Structure 1
Amino acid sequence: MEQLNSTVVPFNISSTPGPSPHLSSDSRGVAPAILMCLCFLLGFPGNIAVVIVKPNWQHLSSVSQSLMLNLAISDLFSLLTLPLWIYSLLYNWPFSLVACKLLVYLVNGSVYGSLLTVTVLSVQRYLLLVHLHNCFLIGIRKLLALLWLASLILATPVLVTQQLITDRRWVRCKSQYSSEASWIVMLLIQCLMGFVSLSVMAFAYIRLHRKVNQGAFFNNPQTTRLVTSIIVAHFVLWVPYHIINVLGVAAISLKKKGLLNFCMKSWKIVTPLIFVNSSLNPLLYAFASRSCTVCKKPQKLNREASNSPKPVFQVADIGTHAGPQQAQHSEK
């Protein structure tokens, strides 16, 4: 995620050509600053609302509730520092090097936490609906602790690479790599992390979609639209970032100056899209759950409860189902 401000350029490609401009603000940061401003105005209050209100979560399992709450909190942390980055894009970095490292570490850890939570949430829904497993092998607290531990470990390299760099007459909090190899390694780690996550999500939701189409679980077409919107939004907003990272690896390895310059400019556009995803998550994972209302009971559970009346389950989440007593109460 630090590629938004990456200025360490291999094989003598300078990112700071030309004389120092006499401007009160840096016009190069206007476009990403506007996009980040919109993300903050939409996503910050939205995630706060999710944390406080927990809309339509009464029929969710405890695992789904914990994962959705963790998703909102991680997105909230990643969006919390956006006003500072907006200011630093338009003007100078106002704080010390220590603050630069810690804030970038917080943002990267939060973004990784959001990405891993979305992945785990898709796996949880897959296990519940396709294999009828209600939980993971470990407790939810241990799962969340491992998730955040992995996120913070993945974000650790920014504590080394982030530096205060003079760009023309501006002071920036940017990543600086000691060599081309270290930059390539960082990009490859991000690419691997991203593609593994996207592959797991794609597999889980494709299987879920097939299960939905069998008609045994959901009859509401809004459920299919919700599943589709979740995976499409994540793909659309994350894939450009990973593609540019792959092109960046190729440009550095092959020493293609033109391609690297293209990547440097593209990073400033595709990186803010990650914050757009954090802004949309409250809509996709919480408020959109209102559209998932009625579903039929799985055939396997029907056989196990053959001595009781057939319940109709009310579902607020595509990966959970209400118990028979809740369903009978809703019928009344």
Structure 2
Amino acid sequence: MEQLNLTAVTSNISSSSELLPSSSMDSRGVLPAVILSLFFLLGVPGNIAVIILKPNFQQLSSMTQSLMLNLAVSDLLCLLSLPLGIYSLLYGWIFGLLACKIVAYLVNCSLCGSLLTIVLLSFQRYMLVVHQLFYNQKKMRLLLVLFWLVVMILSIPDLVVHQLTPDQEWVHCRQQFSSRTQMLALLLTETLVGFASCFIVAFSYIQLYRKVNRAAFFNNPQTSRLVISIIIVFFVLWIPYLTVNVLRVGATALHDERLEKHFAELRDFALALIFINSCLNPLLYGFTSHICKCVNYLNQ
């Protein structure tokens, strides 16, 4: 009996020690941690300002206001997860498997919510300006409920595949697939949703720009630069992540483990670019009024 008690105590001590931070710091995570800290310091105040100040919102329809707030909240939640990620980069993940899965799921919901909100916002502006199609409050609420339902469903795979993986003397919360089929299914889903989103955003703003350009009063460089900036920033920050996904699909199909590992490491850097998007969204969507003025003018 004493031996069993001693074994239980020893196991409890060892399991508790796994949750303690490593005495040494992972030098590989210093540069990414510094960059992510900069994103946090720049992006969090910007999105909070959009939520509180609601700049230029008086020129927007009720649905556009809801989507703008939805975007700011999604980006803010995404950026608020960065302190945990920064700590994990430096000292490993010490918060257990359940926290790993929950945080990964919430971050994926935030990223997916931000992406799909940009798509909805772009398409809604296109329908409003080009086709003069308005949405009433009832349809808007139903659309937002369906929107978050889709976001939560699309994020479920990240809840499943995130596991605690050992890396030298540290433990990290990362994707770990049970089979190649599972990996291919997740990567292909992310890639198809991502490229479809890019197409809708580009198409919507190009058509919107053509419509706005016909109004001589608004044919000015400011509007042109804004539309071009929105498209370029969105593509520059999302295409690398989608490209890495395509490369990972190819490496998985070829059963090349070396390439799989290399592209999995590249994914972390590509994912960091998406956080830049969350920092720039307040400037591109919250604090710019040229498109809002164009929409208001054309509707009148």
Query: Same fold by TM-score, threshold 0.5 exceeded?
Result: yes
Matched residue, 2:44: 44
Computed over aligned residues only, the root mean square deviation of the Cα atoms, in angstroms, reads 2.0
* CA distance 1:320–1:28, shift in 2 (3 Å): farther
Distance 1:85 1:319, change over 3 A: farther
> Counterparts of 2:91 and 2:187 in 1: how far apart (Å)?
27
Q: 1:67 to 1:23 in 2, by over 3 A?
A: same
Aligned-residue offset at 1:268: 2.1
Letter of the 1:125 partner, please give it. Answer: R
Contact persistence 2:212–2:294 (CA under 8 A): no
Deviates more, 1:94-103 or 1:119-128: 94-103
Q: How big is each residue's C-alpha offset from its partner over 1:263-294, in whole Å with a ceiling of 9 and x where there is no partner?
A: 123112111111110111001001122xx2xx
> Normalized per residue, which structure has more helix?
2
User: 2:253 — aligned with what?
Assistant: 253
Q: Structure 1: where are the runs of 5+ without partners?
A: 1-21, 293-314, 325-332
Determine whether 1:66 maps to 2:99.
no
**SS in structure 2 opposite 1:173?**
strand
1:200 equivalent to 2:174? Answer no
SS of the aligned residue for 1:188 comes to: helix
Q: Deviations over 1:206-239 (max 9, x none)?
A: 1112222323572332112111111111100000
Equivalent positions of 1:81-230 (< 5 A) are 81-135=81-135, 139-215=139-215, 218-230=218-230
1:285 aligns with 2:285: yes
- Secondary structure of the residue aligned to 1:288 is coil
Q: Secondary structure at the match of 2:201?
A: helix
Structure 1 letter corresponding to 2:158: V
Q: In percent, how many aligned pairs have the same letter?
A: 53
Alignment check: 8 A CA contact 2:54 2:286 kept: yes
CA positional deviation for 1:323:
7.5
C-alpha separation in 2, matches of 1:205 and 1:175: 34
What are the residue-to-residue correspondences of 1:9-48 with 2, within 5 Å? Answer: 24-48=24-48
What's the TM-score once normalised by structure 1's chain length?
A: 0.79
Shift of 1:184: 1.1
Partners of 1:157 and 1:44 lie apart in 2 by 27
Cα separation, partners in 2 of 1:59 and 1:24, compared to 1, 3 Å: same
User: 1:251: how far off?
Assistant: 0.5
Cα separation, 2, equivalents of 1:166 and 1:262 = 17
Partner of 1:15: none
Q: Distance in 2 between matches of 1:321 and 1:267?
A: 43
8 Å contact kept, 2:63–2:137: no
Deviation at 1:91, TM superposition (A): 0.6
Distance 1:132 1:31, change over 3 A: same
The residue aligned with 1:316 is 292
Q: 1:123 to 1:318 in 2, by over 3 A?
A: farther
Corresponding residue of 1:298: none
| Distance in 1 between residues matched to 2:245 and 2:208, nearest whole Å | 30
Name the CA shift for 1:318/1:184 in 2 (closer, same or farther; >3 Å). farther
Name the SS of the counterpart of 1:163 in structure 2.
strand
Distance 1:258 1:323, change over 3 A: closer
Please list every run of 5 or more consecutive structure 2 residues that lacks an aligned counterpart in the other structure: 1-21
SS class of match (1:74): helix
